[in-house]
Amino acid sequence: MTELQLGLIGLGASAVVGVFAYNKWQEYRHRKLAEAVFKPQHDDVLLGATPPAAKVEAAPLRSEPEIRIEEPSAVDRRVEPVFNDVPYSDPYPTEPGVDEVIEIEEPAHFVDEPEAPPQFARPVAEPVVEAPARPVAEPVVAAPPAPAEPEDLPAEVPAGAVPAELLDPRLELVVALEMVEPVAVQQILHSQRDVLQRINKPAHWVGFNERNREWERLTPDSTLKVRRLRVGLQLVNRMGPVSEGDLTVFVNAIHALADELMAVVDMPSSRVLDQAAEIDRFCAAVDLEIGINLVSRASAFSGTKIRALAEAAGMVLGVDGLFTRYDDDGRAQFCLQNYESTQFSPDSVRTLTTHGLTFLLDVPRVDHGERVFGQMSELAKRFADTLQGALVDDNRQPLSDSQLEHIRREFIGKPQATMASFGLPAGSPQALRLFS
């Protein structure tokens, strides 16, 4: 072996011996420190003599420290210290959640009546063990329910009566259908469309929108799904009352629709034909159309002048060949048509000439008919002054201001008052359906 190897071996042995010696010194030092801590510093005041050396046994390591001292006495008896009116306060409070149990077992020899109050020695400070605080349970807050998707409909939503503006039992045969599951509007309207088109009276479809909780008129372009459906067959229009054949076709079509949708049907059993006849008689008494004719005195009226005057008065030329004036809500007030057979059109009006014009007011379809008739009369007079014409009745007799006032009261005011007394005001949605 070389000198280097011998030197390294000696150096390693020296390091091992040094570490061993250091460990022994540390063990000796800690043992002395432990004896100093646990060695009694004062005599036992209860026994008057120092008890035999106590035997200390280490308790198993737990989360709650526990120190138990056992004495070598033949009879073990727990002695609770007696405090003679001396208030006691724990100088070392225990942290919440840490329970320290210190049990001291003393010999059974004690003094019944000590001659003098015992002098308590100040207890030796025990090491304080910091225990981690128990986590405080935070209140559990239930999360609010997620909002329903637009496609989800509530199971049951109370629905009131259908507004009369949509369906009026006096004017329509209203059939109720209740479905278990919501059905698309397009499927409903397409189901019996071909059959219902053979009827001479219109059928009105109304469904309950469960999102906004309102009844709505159903249209072919609607994306709504409904559980509650109301179908109304109009009993009367200007073509007369519904026939028995149309009524039979309608009833059969509704039953076929209910079978397809698996719906429950509520079909009224009233005398529908008698009801239709009564409504038709009422309509005949108030269904009036008032016209004021404007005829030329010499030369014919130019179509371009007619169009200029009509558009200046706020009238619009429609596909029906009439210049129509509308109110702010888009409802027709009165119209202007050619007294002759040729209708107005955007193309023909440029070259058209006519010897007469007619202003028309549909009495049951116009709200505030008397006022609107006054506006129409004033406009007809302006046309007559500009076009050099005259206002005449159907017999081509001149119309004076007194005659126009008589028409306003007798043929517009009274019929509209009759309609209002029947609960069917002129120009209302019901009147527009009935007089169509």
Mean pLDDT to the nearest integer, 149-173: 75
DSSP letter for 378, please.
Answer: H
In a domain, 240, yes or no: yes
Mean residue pLDDT of the chain comes to: 80
Q: Is the dihedral of CA 156, 162, 166, 171 positive or negative?
A: positive
Range scoring the smallest mean pLDDT among 34-48, 125-139, 206-220: 125-139
In DSSP notation, 13-28 reads: HHHHHHHHHHHHHHHH
pLDDT at 126 over 50: no
124: left (phi over 0), alpha (psi -120 to 50) or beta: beta
Last residue of a domain, one of 261, 283, 305: 283
Q: How many domains does the chain have?
A: 4
Report the DSSP beta bridge partners of residue 237: 240
Residues 242 and 293 in one domain: no
pLDDT at 344 over 50: yes
At 32, the pLDDT band (50, 70, 90 cuts) reads confident
Residues 351 and 268 in one domain: no
Mean pLDDT to the nearest integer, 398-406: 95
Both structure tokens of 86: 């001396």
Both structure tokens of 320: 């029906």
For position 239, which CATH number holds?
3.30.70
pLDDT value, residue 156: 54
Task: Calculate the alpha carbon distances from 119 to 29, 39, 43, 48, 122 in Å.
Answer: 33, 19, 11, 12, 9
At 159, the pLDDT band (50, 70, 90 cuts) reads low
In a domain, 336, yes or no: yes
List pLDDT tens digits, range 283-326.
999 999 999 999 999 899 999 999 999 999 999 999 999 999 99
* Between 135 and 170, residue with greater pLDDT: 170
pLDDT at 61 over 60: no
Instruction: Report the percent of the chain where pLDDT is more than 70.
Output: 71
In a domain, 167, yes or no: no
List pLDDT tens digits, range 180-220.
999 999 999 999 999 999 999 999 999 999 999 999 999 99
Residues 187 and 277 in one domain: yes
pLDDT value, residue 103: 47
Residues 185 and 304 in one domain: no
Range scoring the smallest mean pLDDT among 58-72, 383-397, 417-431: 58-72
pLDDT value, residue 43: 54
In a domain, 16, yes or no: yes
Both structure tokens of 257: 């629709």
* Between 389 and 13, residue with greater pLDDT: 389
At 28, the pLDDT band (50, 70, 90 cuts) reads confident
The answer to whether the predicted template modeling score (pTM) of the entire model surpasses 0.95 is: no
Residues 46 and 20 in one domain: no
Mean pLDDT to the nearest integer, 31-42: 64
Can you give the length of the chain in residues? Answer: 436
pLDDT value, residue 430: 96
pLDDT value, residue 228: 96
In a domain, 303, yes or no: yes
pLDDT at 145 over 70: no
Last residue of a domain, one of 255, 283, 311: 283
Most trustworthy range by pLDDT among 6-15, 52-61, 81-90, 188-197:
188-197
* Between 55 and 240, residue with greater pLDDT: 240
Report the DSSP beta bridge partners of residue 353: 302
For position 308, which CATH number holds?
3.30.1400.10
At 108, the pLDDT band (50, 70, 90 cuts) reads very low
Query: Could you list the residue range(s) of the whole structural domain that residue 79 is in?
Result: 40-86+99-111
Q: Residues 158-190, buried b or exposed e (16+ Cβ, 10 A)?
A: ebeebeeebbbeebbbbbebebeebbebbebbe
pLDDT at 352 over 90: yes
